[in-house]
Amino acid sequence: MDPTVTFPVPRDIPLPLPVDPFVLEVAVVILFLAHILFVNLMVGGSTLSLVYEIVGLRHKKYDALARLWAETITVNKSLAVVLGVAPLLVVNVLYTIHFYTANALTGSAWIMIIPLITIAFLLGYMHKYTWDVLAESKALHIALGAVTTAIFWFVPLIFLANINLMLFPERWTDVQGFLSAVTMQNVLLRYLHFLLASLAITGLFGAAWFGRTEFDLTHRLPGFDRHTVLRRCYELAFGATLMQFLAGTLVYFSLPSHGISMFMTGVILLGIAFAVIALTLLWREVVAPAAQIGRLFMPIVLVLSVTVSCMAMGRHLYRDGALAGHGQLMRQATEEMQYTVRDAAWRKEQGIIAVEIPRGERAFQICAGCHALDRERSGPSIREIQRLYADNAVGIVTWAKAPGRKRTNFAPMPPFAHLPAADLQAAAAHMLEMGQAKANEPDSP
């Protein structure tokens, strides 16, 4: 294994994948898209319901609009949870070590996801079904919606921080829980991009939901006409999508470069090209005459589907690129472990008794090239070191980590701060024992 590696390299699970990795990679992209669609609708719907209910305190007609958005949340959140099981299982299989390491490092926040979702579900149903009961207690009803929305916002942030952390093993030793994972350089930018996507998709969903010919808009939304509602939905989709261009650009340039490839960049640019087409179509809906609003809905959906697919594929390509080097190191560590196991089994079969070499003796092999017991090599002898550092192993360790140059007849000693502290301590103690044992030998006659 590369001795310059300073971040954790655990062994992989030495079991074959149940299917070809390519199948799992395609599955995780498709299944994730199905899941995230309803997560977006859940987050966007709860946000719009909360905003319109607050506006409804002064303009009564918006309270009815808020209620209609609230009715969509419970269905979308149920679909989001059900469709989230499959991609989570595939990620567990495809990136087991990285995913569970990130789980452990994000700690209690990750464990709280299920309780938080449960609470949000209960509050969401309470908010939906107490609209008339709490009509005279609007502050309490809005508070229910606000807490529900806050949880719906917070849970994706936990998941995003966790998924992001698994991509960067070199940061694992720096992370001290969820808050430090969230403050990694690209997490909040990716989260902003997710929120904007939620609003864009929810706006487009609203255009379809409220634009149905069988939807009794006059009765359900008194004070609104159909073209006004649809125009507001398209305006939301257009504005959020436009802002995604800025957020997406910042996300791209905030990513560590080792996961970026030309192919990944090309896929992202293709998605952007289709997004420009979608923006053009959305703008045409925003400015269209009342009688023509909604005619471009299907072309917009098709073009945005290509964009979303490209972005999902680009995200997966970055994940593979970011983990490629670490995955190779894990495979090497696994092969070394398997070789050790096979070697131990063979020795047992042959009746060879394995001799356990003390840690200090093993660690000293690094030092033996320059320090001999009784003679100088490219450094002083062990016996001289024992006289200089008698009963002071800590002094040897301190010197080994940051050596100076006391004698011009010796080459400067390189620092060994990269070695584990326990190995340095064991090697220092072993040298003192060797020197002391030599000092206690009787002189030859």
Phi-psi region of 391 (alpha: psi -120 to 50; beta: other; left: phi over 0): left
The CA distances from residue 58 to 71, 136, 436, in Å, are 22, 14, 89
pLDDT of residue 315: 92
Q: Are 197 and 40 in contact (CB under 8 A)?
A: yes
Is residue 411's pLDDT more than 60?
yes
The 10 Å Cβ neighbour count of residue 5 is 14
Q: Are 391 and 431 in contact (CB under 8 A)?
A: no
Distance CA 77, CA 67 (A): 16
What's the farthest any 2 CA atoms get from each other in the chain? Answer: 117
pLDDT of residue 378: 75
Is residue 173's pLDDT more than 50?
yes
Q: pLDDT tens digits, residue range 317-365?
A: 999 999 988 888 888 888 878 877 887 788 778 777 666 778 888 888 8
Contacts 24+ apart (CB under 8 A), 377-382: 378/410, 378/411, 379/410, 379/413, 380/407, 380/410, 382/431, 382/434, 382/435, 382/438
pLDDT of residue 412: 77
| Residue whose entry in the numeric block shows the structure tokens 């979608």 | 278
Q: Which residues contact 442 (CB under 8 A, 6 or more apart)?
A: none
Residue 272: DSSP 8-state: H
- Residue 184: φ, ψ to 5°: -60, 150
pLDDT of residue 170: 85
Is residue 405's pLDDT more than 80?
no
Q: Are 227 and 293 in contact (CB under 8 A)?
A: yes
Q: How much is the mean pLDDT over the chain?
A: 89
Q: Which residues contact 334 (CB under 8 A, 6 or more apart)?
A: 11, 12, 14
Between the two ends of the chain, the Cα-to-Cα distance in Å is: 50
pLDDT of residue 402: 86
Is residue 280's pLDDT more than 70?
yes
**Paired tokens of 394:** 């800590």
Q: Which residues contact 256 (CB under 8 A, 6 or more apart)?
A: 168, 322
Q: pLDDT tens digits, residue range 20-74?
A: 999 999 999 999 999 999 999 999 999 999 999 999 999 999 999 999 999 999 8
Q: pLDDT tens digits, residue range 284-302?
A: 999 999 989 999 999 999 9
SS3 state of residue 376: strand
Q: If you average pLDDT over residues 281-285, what whole number do you get?
A: 96
Instruction: Determine the residue type at 113.
Output: I
Q: pLDDT tens digits, residue range 219-263?
A: 888 888 888 999 999 999 999 999 999 999 999 998 888 889 999
The 10 Å Cβ neighbour count of residue 79 is 17
Distance CA 114, CA 120 (A): 10
Element (H, E) at 392: none
Distance CA 304, CA 302 (A): 6
pLDDT of residue 276: 96
**Paired tokens of 338:** 């398997």
Is residue 424's pLDDT more than 80?
yes
pLDDT of residue 355: 66
**Paired tokens of 418:** 């990269």
The CA distances from residue 397 to 107, 183, 202, 422, in Å, are 34, 35, 61, 10
Q: Residue 3: name the closest of 414, 286, 374 by CA.
A: 414
Q: pLDDT tens digits, residue range 68-121?
A: 999 999 899 999 999 999 999 999 999 999 999 999 888 889 999 999 999 999
Distance CA 300, CA 277 (A): 8
Q: Residue 377: name the closest of 387, 367, 388 by CA.
A: 367
Is residue 2's pLDDT more than 50?
no
The 10 Å Cβ neighbour count of residue 46 is 29
Handedness of CA 173, 175, 181, 184 (dihedral sign): negative
Q: Are 382 and 373 in contact (CB under 8 A)?
A: yes
Is residue 265's pLDDT more than 70?
yes
How many residues belong to the chain?
445
Q: How confident is the model at residue 1 (pLDDT cuts 50, 70, 90)?
A: very low
Distance CA 170, CA 157 (A): 21
> What torsion do the CA atoms of 154, 64, 142, 149 make, to the nearest 10 degrees?
0
Q: Could you write out the three-class secondary structure of 154-195?
A: HHHHHHHHHHHHCCCHHHHHHCCCHHHHHCCCCHHHHHHHHH
| Tally of CA atoms within 13 A in the half-sphere of 326 that contains its CB | 23
